[in-house]
Chains A and B, each alone.
Chain A
Amino acid sequence: MTVSAWEAFWLIVRREMRLSFRRPEQLLQPLVFFLIVTTLFPLGLSLQLSLLRDIAPGVLWVSALLSALLSLDFLFKSDADDGTLEQLALSGHALTVIVAAKTLAHWLVTGVALVLVSPIVGTALGIPLGAFATMLVSLALGTLTLSWLGAIGAGLTIGLRRGNVLLSLIVLPLATPLLIFGAAATERAISGTSPVGALYFLAALCVFTCTLAPFAAAAALRITLE
């Protein structure tokens, strides 16, 4: 009896989630990095709440991008190293489905976790409670988009030694629109103006990458598998 693409998708998501929870340090490292970097800024700058509020959106978003980048290296690398990526590629399912499942699972364990701890960081940076909803939504959209962009970069760099530096060089420039609109949305929510425009842009970027990145990442993987 053959297995449908949908069943294969969820089987891979479950496999990835189980693997992540067996290796909690892989989950915790980017989160702790996010918490530490964001607390370093107030310590290094000033404890004036008004100044903190001004820089909070930028600090929050730059730290989120860097911490998400830390976790991207795990996306395909361990599967490529132990040979399971070849088994997945020969499983009879499109690489696009495999890539989409792995990336979604990656976001569920890294992006969602980052969104969940962001209220702690928000409080530390003096972001008012009223801006939390915008911050959470923008980070959720931003981290998902970043996971898709990262999948392309990770697919291209798994075959390389020291590929993680190149991965940052590929992904960070692509992530600049996220930083601009994400920080703008949070900043507007803090100042009490409507963040809807920036959120729409983030949502558009998210839809754009969700639909096209799986194909690009699958093509990248196909090249590196050869």
Chain B
Amino acid sequence: MNMSNALCVENVHVWRGDRHVLQGVSTQVHRGELLHISGPNGTGKTTLLRVVSGLLRPEQGSVTWLGQSIASHRTEYQAVLAYAAHEPALKGDLTALENLRFSVGLKRRSKPQELRGALERTGVAACADLPARVLSAGQRRRVSLARVVAMQASVWLLDEPYANLDAAGSELVSGLLADHVTAGGLALVVAHRELALTCDVRRLELNS
């Protein structure tokens, strides 16, 4: 197994106050592979995703990308990372397109047509010039997915990407994930539902 070709989580422990949320979690995700993180509420799925994103430093254990610690190679790692938290993380006073422009613009230089293309891909092209606050929860989720697409990152960390979406939206997420993974990207997805995908899916079940 080529260690340098993977995102490795090794023996990660996280405490939240007195609670030992993650108790020695270890896993590996390779390019072209999707890790489906599931488990009951409160077992630390989001916490694990935050640890892998680098937002949360584990008390013990490490996360490495291409054999290098993500804490010491933060900039390089973040350049290939797209994280979509449970909240869509949009500014209500900015339009959908401006939201994309300001957050994608920090990662890479992008043209407005590319951003509109990403919004079109997620089915919200008509909302591009509307303030995010007037969009429905499902539409906001689609805009946040468009941001992930537009970042052109190779590591996707998605927290409940299926939340608030209708049947067509769920199919869209599955399609996006399958395309991303088939193209050689890797993804960590927290989801309560079964993922019916055409690509390689591994499962990590967290228990309390």
Contact = CB atoms under 8 A, between A and B. Distances in A.
B98 A2 contact: no
A84 B90 contact: yes
B107 A91 contact: yes
Contacts, number: 72
Interface stretch (A15-23, A68-76, A130-138, A188-196): A15-23
Given A19-B93, A23-B93, A82-B89, A226 B55 contact: yes
Query: Interface size class for chain A?
Result: 20 to 34
Query: Interface size class for chain B?
Result: 20 to 34
A225 B55 contact: yes
Contacts of B108: 1-3
Interface in A174-226: 225-226
Specify the main secondary structure of chain A where it touches its partner: helix
Given A83-B85, A83-B89, A225-B55, A88 B106 contact: yes
A3 B89 contact: no
Nearest to B78: A92
B93 A22 contact: yes
B68 to A, nearest CB: 15
Interface of B: 53-57, 75, 78-79, 81, 83, 85, 87-94, 98, 102-103, 105-109
Closest 10 CB pairs of A and B: A83-B89, A91-B106, A92-B78, A22-B93, A83-B87, A15-B102, A92-B79, A1-B109, A84-B89, A87-B89
15 contacts: A1-B109, A3-B108, A3-B109, A11-B102, A11-B105, A82-B89, A82-B92, A84-B89, A87-B103, A90-B81, A91-B78, A92-B78, A93-B75, A226-B56, A226-B57
Interface of A: 1-3, 8, 11-12, 14-15, 18-19, 22-23, 82-84, 86-94, 225-226
